[in-house]
Amino acid sequence: MNKINLMINGLPGNVAVTIAKHAIKDKRFSLIPYSLTGPDIPDKTHKIDAFKISLIRPDMRVKKIREIKSKYDDIYTIDFTHPSSVNSNALFYIDNDLPFVMGTTGGDREKLKNDINKGLTPAVIAPNMAKQIVGFQAMMEYAANTFPDLFKGFSLEIHESHQKGKADTSGTAKAMVKYFNKLGLKFSDKDIKKERDPEIQKNVWKIPEEYLSGHGFHTYKLKSGDGTCEFKFEHNICGRDIYVDGSLDAVIFLHKQFSIRKEKNYFTMIDVLKK
């Protein structure tokens, strides 16, 4: 297989940088030395070892993408930018025929899905790119569809902790809410308790200090009405490396979809895992 031209957007953000470091060494990909960045980023370039990447601010992206596409054929993109940019970035990718993996959480997810379905550009959309967590979500979805109201009468608490710089509530936690509600709970996204204080994370959550700047801890606790039964599910991730494989696998998946141009354009990580 020829190398896939890959553009990773969101540098110098931590997740984008982590994926770019791996993509540079991955023989399946040719990393394009450009990245869409936010309007508040003052730097014009970002270096990963000896590899220099030009940063493109929003006001320059339309002009620059024409130049980039004249140099590189069949570009695929991974987006780990900012929640406020999700929908505008998606429209940009669709308008410029750039198949994309949207790892950024937030935005109007229903509009995101509708925009993709209206266009001709395939995309993988997921609140979490970690394959193991996606598998866990798939198990919960199966349980919700197969055993509705299994936990009727129970109460639910959802706690999530991420690094201080994460702007929005965990997309993974939000995705889990719909499964628990099918299982008989009555819970709102607004009831999710999020933690962003490093001192509490270190002393109460016992998150290793070296991972305070990059982690994702989630706890889902169910308790019966009389308090005699309790169930707890947890998935705790230190660092960001776990998101790399899923993101790059999603690009490979899109490459196959794009080559056959099926009617369906909107895909999730479940589709990627079932490949």
Say how far apart CA 102 and CA 114 lie, in whole Å. 14
Closest CA to 37 of 19, 16, 52, 51: 16
111 & 146 share domain: no
Beta bridge partners of 102: 79, 125
Strands 193-195 and 51-56: unpaired
Q: What is the structure's pLDDT at 259?
A: 67
Q: Give catalytic residues, as residue numbers.
A: 162, 166
159 & 216 share domain: yes
95 & 38 share domain: yes
Phi then psi for residue 174, to 5 deg, are -60, -40
Sequence-ordered list of residues with C-beta below 8 angstroms from that of 144, at least 6 positions apart, any chain: 178, 179, 180, 182, 183
Averaged pLDDT in 10-residue chunks for the chain of 275 residues: 93 95 97 96 95 97 96 96 94 96 93 94 92 94 97 98 92 94 96 97 97 96 98 96 95 85 84 88
Q: What is the CATH number of the domain that holds 220?
A: 3.30.360.10
Q: What is the CATH number of the domain that holds 111?
A: 3.40.50.720
Asked if residue 218 lies in contact with residue 160, where contact means CB atoms within 8 angstroms, the answer is yes
Q: What is the structure's pLDDT at 41?
A: 95
Structure tokens at 126: 């997921």
Say how far apart CA 51 and CA 108 lie, in whole Å. 34
What is the SS3 assignment for 213?
A: coil
118 & 246 share domain: yes
104 & 195 share domain: no
Beta bridge partners of 45: 54
Tell me the residue range of the domain where 51 lies: 4-125+241-273
268 & 212 share domain: no
The number of distinct structural domains making up the chain is: 2
167 & 223 share domain: yes
Q: What is the structure's pLDDT at 152?
A: 97
65 & 153 share domain: no
91 & 44 share domain: yes
86 & 28 share domain: yes
Question: What confidence tens digit (pLDDT) does each residue in 199-214 have?
Answer: 999 999 999 999 999 9
Asked if residue 100 lies in contact with residue 251, where contact means CB atoms within 8 angstroms, the answer is no
Phi then psi for residue 262, to 5 deg, are -70, 165
155 & 19 share domain: no
If you ran DSSP here, which 8-state letter would residue 263 be given? S
